Amino acid sequence: MRTRTSAQSNARRRWTGVVGIAAAACIVATGLTFGASPGQAVDADLPTWDDVQKAKQDVNATDAKITEIEALLVQVAKEVETTKQASITAGNALAQAEDDLLAANERVEALETKASESAEEAEAASREAASLVSQMYRSGGVDRNMELFLESDASTADQLLERLAVMSKASERNSKVADDATRARNNAETLGQQAESASAERERLQQEAAERKEIATVAAAAAVEKQTTQEEQQATLEAQLEALKDKSAETVEGYEERVRQEAEEERQRQEAARKAAEEAARKAAEEAANNNNGGGGGGGGGGGTVSPPTGGGGWGYPLAWNSVNEEFGGARNHGGLDFDGAMWTPIYAVAAGRVTACYEFSNYGNAVDIQHADGSMTRYAHQPYGGIIVSCGQWVEKGQQIGHIGSTGWSTGPHLHFETWPNSWSRVDPRGFMAARGVYF
């Protein structure tokens, strides 16, 4: 696993609420509650800076206020953790709904395949039976055998016995073929009924997954505000506690001024680190694009961002270059393609569409889902905290930047996990999906 930089930590603090989309999904979908609202629970007893200033004038009051604030910090920390755990639970519920839907689709496809095979077997057996009857008819049948019997000389008697023997064997064979055809047709009918039932279950799970995603998306906005409020309370209490313990500043104003200066210095350091990371990613993207086997990709120039190759028609590439390090499928049933890339490398929408997910859930980490006009969906996972730059419900165009390469979720290093869903219940190999749209990896 990679170590998070200070810039990423700061970005995570600013973006924490987006994670909470999944949190509220859990609250609505499973009935979980936080109890009292974390913001309301603490606000009623939150000390003011005037309280802190008064407490600083008396040692006993200072000690009492320190004890009070330390207790409030414990309470806020618990509430923050409750919000985060609800987010994790909801994210897992959303991922589980997708897994159930994928499994249901596999069952439907397996049953439909078996039903088709049985129907073909029944059809083949019927054709064989018809062929045997036709052969019996062409050999003369019963009427011709009776004529031979009535003629009844030695030679015709031999012919009769031979033909009767052939007819007997053909009849036995025809009977078996008929039985096989009936069995295969019954199997096909039964499997067809099972496939219809499984298809209905798939539709139910499809609706459930869609509802979970919608709930998660709506809840995220609420979680952003909720967790931001909690963290602001936490920061205020910590600052008040430090002000009470600070012996160098006699007034709150003097302490606050020093804190403001330190915060500004830290902000500048983090901003410089972020810009350095983005510039390094830009240069890496530009170099990779120039060496991309003729794959295209425009140069950003003048410190700009490297653009992705244009692709064919309304579809393009998610990165400025294509360096796949893990394929779809395989021993661990990998659900997409993994592309190499440095942290904070820009990610682009491969086609125009509506953003239907823009938050952290399960093993995907921070992910963006885009629903396209043809009903398909693309997913861009493992983005860093603070790396997603689009919002849920937003319309994006082909080639528009939607985020950055990161290493959240089940990831051991920076990369883009890219998935393609031709519909809402199945994933397919992105190579074939994109190739059909004029984009080749």
**Lookup result for tokens 């019927």:** 126
Please tell me the predicted confidence (pLDDT) of residue 14: 34
Helix (H, G, I), strand (E, B) or coil at 402: strand
Please tell me the predicted confidence (pLDDT) of residue 37: 42
Q: CB of 134 within 8 A of CB of 217?
A: no
One-letter identity of residue 347: I
Separation in Å, CA 120 to CA 110, 143, 173, 179: 15, 35, 19, 15
Cα–Cα distance for residue pair 409/248, rounded to 1 Å:
44
The set of long-range contacts for 70-77, using a CB threshold of 8 Å and a minimum separation of 24, is 70/241, 72/42, 72/45, 72/46, 72/47, 72/237, 73/234, 73/237, 73/238, 73/241, 75/41, 75/42, 76/38, 76/42, 76/230, 76/233, 76/234, 76/237, 77/234
Cα–Cα distance for residue pair 103/106, rounded to 1 Å:
5
Please tell me the predicted confidence (pLDDT) of residue 315: 94
Cα–Cα distance for residue pair 303/289, rounded to 1 Å:
15
User: Which residues touch 150 (CB under 8 Å, ≥6 apart)?
Assistant: none
Give the predicted TM-score (pTM) of the model: 0.61
Which one, of 422, 416, 418, 423, lies nearest residue 436 by Cα? 422
Please tell me the predicted confidence (pLDDT) of residue 367: 94
The parts of the chain modelled with pLDDT lower than 70 are: 1-45, 87, 129, 132-174, 177, 215-225, 247-252, 254-256, 285, 288-312
Please tell me the predicted confidence (pLDDT) of residue 304: 41
Q: Given phi > 0 = left and psi -120 to 50 = alpha, else beta, which region is 5?
A: beta
Q: 264 exposed, middle or buried (CB, 10 Å; 0-12, 13-18, 19+)?
A: exposed
Please tell me the predicted confidence (pLDDT) of residue 42: 53
Please tell me the predicted confidence (pLDDT) of residue 288: 65
Joined tokens for residue 418: 């890219």
Please tell me the predicted confidence (pLDDT) of residue 153: 56
Please tell me the predicted confidence (pLDDT) of residue 180: 72
- SS3 for 106-153 is HHHHHHHHHHHHHHHHHHHHHHHHHHHHHHHHHCCHHHHHHHHHHHCC
Q: Which domains does the chain have, with CATH numbers?
A: 16-245 (no CATH), 264-441 (2.70.70.10)
